[in-house]
Chains A and B, each alone.
Chain A
Amino acid sequence: MSADSQTTEDRPDEGAPPEDRWRRALREIVESSSMVVFMAIVASMIIGGVLIIFADEAVRESAAYFFSRPGDTFSAIGDALGSAYSSMFNGAVLNLEASSFAGVIKPLTQTLTMATPLIFAGLGLGIGFRAGLFNIGAQGQLLMGATFGAYIGFAFSLPAGLHLLLAVIGCAVGGALWGFIPGILKAKRGAHEVIVTIMLNYVALYLVAWLLSLDAFQREGSDNPISPFVAETAQYPKILGVQFNLHLGFLLALACAWGAWWLMERSTLGFRLRAVGANPSAARTAGMNIGTATIITMVIAGGLAGLAGSAPVLGTQKFLTDAVAGTLGFDAITVALLGRSRPLGIVLAAILFGGLQASGPSLQVNAGLPVDIVVVIQALIVLFIAAPPLVRAMFRLPAPAHEKEVAA
């Protein structure tokens, strides 16, 4: 798990006495922030394990007579952890109990499917973080994107390729529009983007709830606030055949990751955005327009979050409800943080969290554990990642000679 490779390169060589090549390599690995990421995941899994043990009925029952037969407690603990972690593996990576090859790799494709919206939205948030903007509004942007895309998808009938293209563009436009509002309010009125984006999440939620009560959005013959199914011409094609849910959106997300990398690392615009994020005063002195940079960043971030909305409405669920965003917007924040706002890191983090979420049903069925354990592990990972000194202290890792400030 190397979510972050670049921070190891830019550590200055601090003229220490020459040391053994192997020891030096080992020291660099132990000091690296990739090690912190790995250890944070390990620590979160351990704490998650403690919760699983605590909640397991067999463990609690056998703990009642722990001192007379301690072996029972330990075997119950072993059973609880074993069934939890094996069903996680079976649900997210490879299902070793399946009979066919397709059945064995199905969890892996499911993981990638779940990762798709997280990649999109995580990329948008990552660009925002690097430009110094804290966008909590991916949830609302995603919902608006999903609404625009779904409407184009079910209200029009167009030829196959064009329809999908327009629906995907609709998702991006819807999200970008919802990102533009906090952008312009910050640029022109100095309104703090955290507050505005939080509030806009709820405005979007109620707006969509209202739209779904209108005839134009309501599915015929249904009393529930759900939209008609998106036309087949506007759905993402399945890229591995009909037995897998993995759809074209995943490849589009990877393309966006490359695009985000190119934008931030190779383009003039990306350089400007990074400069504004790193030091707004210096950027202003250098003649950059902070307000414009803010608006552009929020529009791009919103557009990517809107594309995340295409994954459910055009890929998996294929219709619009006001719950279509789930908690994707907030999960994407954790993805962007874990991925250190870098595209490669975000893709890997999204696959990790996508896998955790994909394992939910398997945990529920095979281990009898609620899906919430996944949320706990996810939150713990990000908490630990955010505080490298804490993780280093827990595992007694040496501190690097040059401690870098944690990226927002």
Chain B
Amino acid sequence: MTATVADAPAAPVSGAPIPPKKWGAAIALGVIALLSLIFFGFGTPAGSTTRFVIARKTDFIQLPSLTVPSELAAILLSLVGLALAGWVAYRANQRRKVGIWLPIVYGMAIMGALLTWAGAGREATSIQLTGLLTSSLFLAVPLVFGALAGTLCERSGIINIAIEGQLLAGAFLAALIGSMAGNAYAGLIAAPVAGALVGLLLAIFATKYWVNQIVVGVVLNMLVVGLTGFFFSTLMSDDPSLNQPIGLEKLPIPLLSKIPVLGPVLFNQNLLVYILYVAVAVLQIMLFKSRWGLRVRAVGEHPKAADTVGIQVNRTRIRNTVLGGAVAGLGGAFFTVASGLAFGKEMTAGKGYIALAAMILGRWSPRGALAAALLFGFADALRVQLGAIGSPIPSQFLAMTPYLATIFAVAGLVGHARPPASEGIPYKK
């Protein structure tokens, strides 16, 4: 998937078998583009137009809204998708890979066709582009933190199914401490502590007692649901001052936040979102360019070899799992203090499992996790937007897309997801 290996010709080494041609991706992309052409291209009523609103009224620079002829635009965008699928097929025939740009451009084209079709002939409403992107990023925040947590743990060889529990614990403690201190930032500091505690439990059971890590993860999720629900219904309902809806204020970055479209989307956010940018960048560099990252990955891939050169396998795993738990806990703060909401029972509603999916789709790298989480956030935002303008697509199908995409990914229908070799296996000297 990385650009460096993309153009290396798969020259058959003498004696090595020639790799088979992989047609799966080309077929999948082609079929989707064809469906897009049939449904969105030819399914759009002729003569109608779609209006895209680019800037919001509050934005610094007001861009005019864009009106396009719906049918023509949808057909053209679908044809772009088909052409890209053809390019993938051409490369597959040569046994070459394609760059990361292709799925991005392809996704934009198909999404554009879908939006054009959905907004066709609706004079009263329009597609809010900036709003759509802002809510995509917003909805992606807990997914990115969760997927980063999963990546940190699994790169060291511990399967973290407990992301859901870590998010929920973070959300709970952020609300509790934030309300007690009367300051949302206190909650932001408390949230990682809760997640780290859940991570510590996971690490102890996984490395000291060699319990199946999936068992511990599932049970820890239950435990956190039970504990937070219990305290929510007793402590917090006895004394409502312990659970206040307090929010982090937005911190617009001077100048940058005034850029059209990108400014309000990326640079007019609260502190948690800025932490997210830094976390993704730092973890990406640390995992793949630093000595620490090399050690972590060695422990996850081949713990015995790592141990032989003097790396403490279980200590690395415990540290990473606790750190991962803290990262997920911080993401949990999204649900309460970063959204300005009070804590509610099971308020994470399965986001931890979507984060797990984002980690897999992002192939266990922070950069990929960010991209996958943004995609899932976009699907979620699209569901809300299409619901608002009254689209004929049932919202449940859009809600399903992240899960289906993950199933396709792990089944190797589109690309191949390969987890760290030693994940889930306790290291016993």
Contact = CB atoms under 8 A, between A and B. Distances in A.
Interface in B379-429: 394, 396-397, 399-400, 403-404, 406-407, 410-413, 419
A308 interface: no
B231 interface: yes
B400 A376 contact: no
Q: Chain A CB within 10 Å — which of B226, B350, B404, B412 has the most?
A: B226
Interface string A188-223: 011110111011101100110110010000000000
B403 A203 contact: yes
Contacts of B229: 370, 372, 375
Contacts of B35: none
A346 interface: no
A382 interface: yes
Interface stretch (A27-35, A114-122, A244-252, A386-394): A386-394
A160 B232 CA distance: 46
B209 A379 contact: no
Contacts of B234: 55, 369-370
Contacts of B220: 379, 383
A25 interface: no
Contacts of A379: 219-220, 222-223, 226
B249 to A, nearest CB: 33
B400 A202 contact: yes
B406 A372 contact: no
Given A383-B223, A386-B209, A386-B211, A370 B218 contact: no
Give the size category of A's interface with B.
35 or more
Contact of A387 (B211, B221, B233): B211
Interface in A366-406: 369-370, 372-376, 378-380, 382-383, 386-387, 389-390, 406
Contact of B223 (A194, A195, A380): A380
A141 interface: no
A377 B51 CA distance: 55
A134 B214 contact: yes
A200 B394 CA distance: 18
Interface stretch (A68-76, A230-238, A270-278, A330-338): A330-338
Contacts of A334: 219, 222
A51 interface: yes
A301 interface: no
A387 B205 contact: yes
A194 B160 CA distance: 12
B226 A189 contact: no
Nearest to B345: A372
Interface in B350-390: 350, 353, 356-357, 360
A136 interface: yes
A206 B399 contact: yes
B407 A206 contact: no
B2 to A, nearest CB: 23
A192 B400 CA distance: 19
Nearest to B413: A189
30 contacts: A55-B230, A136-B218, A191-B410, A192-B410, A192-B419, A195-B357, A195-B360, A195-B410, A196-B410, A199-B357, A199-B407, A202-B350, A203-B403, A213-B394, A330-B221, A369-B234, A372-B225, A372-B233, A375-B229, A376-B223, A378-B222, A378-B226, A380-B223, A382-B219, A386-B211, A386-B212, A387-B211, A389-B209, A406-B210, A406-B212
